[in-house]
Structure 1
Amino acid sequence: MPVESTAEIAEILEYETIAVVGCSSTPGKAAHDVPKYLLDHGYDVIPVNPYADEIFGREVYDSLADVEAAIDVVCIFRPSEEVSGIVDAALERDDVAVIWTQQGIRDDEAAARAESEDRDVVQDRCMKVQHRRLVA
């Protein structure tokens, strides 16, 4: 079952390193403003976007496979139909503990695959909203 309880979400928000797949360089877009908020609140945000070189003054990676640093959470800002491939890429890494799809994004089959690999999954929730509600 995907993570839904307040206690489990609060525990996930204690992780530090978040790779944001689909991170945007355009202020005003959720895929920019949410990771910026997370960065401003102490998270180590790793932008993943094959069409950008730098976001928030940080190096941007083309894919999860290109990220050399350890990743705790993969936060997905891509359409639901792209989630499956991103989850597969996350599952190829041993360090990813959580896969989080932002509000309006979900793929139940991919979530089940991730859970079968002992990864926590949060679907269709905004990380910024949950952080404000439970931490800030």
Structure 2
Amino acid sequence: MDTDATVHKILSGYDTITVVGASNAPAKPAHYVPEHMQQRGWRIVPVNPRGGIILGETAYATLADAPPPGLVNLFRPSGHTPDFARQAVATGASALWLQLHIESEEARRIAEEAGLLYVENRCLLVEQRRLGLDAPRF
């Protein structure tokens, strides 16, 4: 499946986004991207080791602590993504999305070998706007 088809399948097939590296700092993409998606109807499940509340939602310290994810969205450096890809697989995720400027051949291999949909180096906000999609209603 080509990347554009995968992007469309993910944005039209998941109503919840588990955001690893979510931030409370409004100027950071890890805050304003999930905030935008939340405003378009997606439920955001923030994952941040500091915990607390992010975008009005309880932030979980680890991916393993969060409710079982479908779509995992990573805002972590490329070098950290293989470990998060393994965690996504272990928690039963079915899609892994690495944000803009985040790429990893190893994370791709881990995700694809486990059958996850995989996108890297793309921004959820940009792709949502490009496709004009809102969160699916199931």
Q: With structure 1 as the length reference, what TM-score do the two structures score?
A: 0.92
Counterpart selection for 1:122 from 96, 112, 119:
119
Q: Percent identity?
A: 36
**Equivalent in the alignment of 1:25:** 24
Counterpart check, 1:9 vs 2:23: no
2:76 counterpart SS class: coil
Cα-Cα RMSD: 1.3
Structure 2: distance between partners of 1:29 and 1:112: 28
Contact 2:6 2:117 in 1 (8 A): no
Q: How many pairs does the alignment contain?
A: 132
Residue identity matched to 2:89: L
**Equivalent in the alignment of 1:131:** 128
1:130 counterpart SS class: helix
Consecutive unaligned residues of structure 1, counting only runs of 5 or more, are none
**Equivalent in the alignment of 1:65:** 64
Structure 1: distance between partners of 2:6 and 2:56: 32
**Equivalent in the alignment of 1:74:** 72
- Structure 1 segment 37-76 matched on structure 2, within 5 A: 37-68=36-67, 70-76=68-74
Structure 1: distance between partners of 2:91 and 2:59: 18
Q: List structure 1 runs of 4+ shifted beyond 6 angstroms.
A: none
Structure 1: distance between partners of 2:114 and 2:57: 30
Consecutive unaligned residues of structure 2, counting only runs of 5 or more, are 134-138
**Equivalent in the alignment of 2:82:** 84
Structure 2: distance between partners of 1:99 and 1:8: 11
Cα shift readout 1:24-65 (whole Å, capped 9, x = no counterpart):
100011010000001111001100001241111110001110
Cα shift readout 1:100-131 (whole Å, capped 9, x = no counterpart):
00000011111111101110110000010000
1:45 counterpart SS class: strand
- Cα offset for 1:135? 2.3
1:105 counterpart SS class: coil
Q: With structure 2 as the length reference, what TM-score do the two structures score?
A: 0.90
- Structure 1 segment 73-112 matched on structure 2, within 5 A: 73-94=71-92, 96-112=93-109
Contact 2:6 2:118 in 1 (8 A): no
